[in-house]
Amino acid sequence: MEVLHFFLRWIHFLAGITWIGILYYFNFVQTPFFAETEAPVRTGAIQKLVPRALWWFRWGAMVTFLAGLLMYLIRLHQMGGEAFFSSQYGITINLGGLLGTIMFLNVWLVIWPNQQIVIASANQAAQGGQPLPAAAGAGRRAGLTSRTNTVFSIPMLFFMGAAMHYPGLVGPSPAQGLFWLITLIIIAAVEYNALVGTQGATKKPLDSVSGALWVGFLLTGIFFVLALGLLR
């Protein structure tokens, strides 16, 4: 079982590096480039480069998620439900895994469907037709959700790493229910903004790379303080 767990972890790391690496490429490199470049160059990239990147992006997310889920079920079986959910490992991996699962669902249910509209619009315009009316809104939705995944990736990686490498972070506590209530409300608010916000105050903090990074580190700090204050 430990050999299986090791190989699943290796696959999880390999696919996760692919997924998150391309996520950061989209947000830190491609999006600023598209904002500055000429329309023909942007259209050509959307036709030929973006679909290739999105293939690796979404399937990297799929393999990361499935390998992580199998590791989770193995550890849950080994430890037993009560011991698992009250342990430092269980608490931190559940928080990291929850964020990772939301990111995975964002990729397949929000980013990829909206990017398909953007790609179809670019192909139609390149063939002499009119851009699809829905393309602009789809691009904004995909972009905001991608920035939200960037925000979530920072605390996700922190707490997944803490599961094995920060054993003193949390412990059994009667305030665990309060910790999860506050944490879930915060996560739901950030995700709700990704699903419905596109303009004004709901979008502004994530308009820039630096803004997304600051929000991600702030979110990590909030979860860290909550863990120290309620679970020790």
**pLDDT tens digits, one per residue of 90-111:** 999 999 999 999 999 999 999 9
Q: Is the pLDDT of residue 175 over 70?
A: yes
Q: Is the pLDDT of residue 182 over 60?
A: yes
Q: Is the pLDDT of residue 211 over 80?
A: yes
pLDDT at position 23 is 98
Mean pLDDT over 61-76 rounds to: 97
Tokens of 142: 């995909």
Q: Is the pLDDT of residue 201 over 60?
A: no
pLDDT at position 128 is 83
> Which string of DSSP letters, residue by residue, matches 32-79?
HHHHHS-HHHHHHHHHHTHHHHHHHHHHHHHHHHHHHHHHHHHHHHHH
Q: Distance between CA atoms of 176 and 231, rounded to whole angstroms?
A: 6
Domain residue limits, the chain? 2-230
pLDDT at position 198 is 65
Q: Is the pLDDT of residue 45 over 70?
A: yes
Mean pLDDT over 160-185 rounds to: 92
pLDDT at position 203 is 59
Q: Is the pLDDT of residue 57 over 90?
A: yes
pLDDT at position 172 is 78
Residue 71 one-letter amino acid: M
pLDDT band per the 50, 70, 90 thresholds, residue 202: low
Q: Which residues contact 213 (CB under 8 A, 6 or more apart)?
A: 150, 154
What are 105-158's pLDDT values in tens digits?
A: 999 999 999 999 999 999 998 888 888 999 999 999 999 999 999 999 999 999
pLDDT band per the 50, 70, 90 thresholds, residue 232: confident
Residues 215 and 151: beta-carbon distance below 8 Å: yes
pLDDT at position 207 is 83
Residues 219 and 154: beta-carbon distance below 8 Å: yes
Q: Is the pLDDT of residue 51 over 90?
A: yes
> Considering the chain, what percentage of its residues have pLDDT values greater than 90?
80
pLDDT at position 151 is 97
Q: Distance between CA atoms of 194 and 144, rounded to whole angstroms?
A: 6
